Amino acid sequence: MSLSRANDKKLEQIAKKCVSYNRSKYYNPVTNNCQHFVRKILDAFESDFCFEGEFGIIIKKLENEGKIDFIFQGKTFNLRKEFYSFIKTINFSRLCPNDKKLLIC
């Protein structure tokens, strides 16, 4: 199978998921939010994307509760200044790749 046909097949699967969501799903912050939709799209790609570490905790809370406070390593940050001070104390080499991306974002 050529690469373009493989990509077309994936795009068709994603399009079907989108149409299905638009026809049959209604937003609910707990049972059907954007995180649920993203997981369905990743499934359509047969992605092995792993939600691990602190990033995984945040994604799971978003999925289950529809909202989150920004918490990293058990600490809640209410101000950017608090977060920036905390970042200066982190040893980035000890973090999993997803947590590094989360902090960079």
The model's pLDDT over 53-92, given as tens digits with 9 standing for 90+, comes to 777 777 777 777 766 777 888 888 877 788 888 888 888 8
Q: Which pLDDT score is estimated for 105?
A: 65
Greater model confidence, 12 or 66: 12
- Separation in Å, CA 21 to CA 24, 32, 38: 5, 10, 11
pLDDT at 1: 46
Mean of the pLDDT values across residues 34-39? 78
The predicted pLDDT at position 3 comes to 47
- pLDDT surpassing 60 at residue 4: no
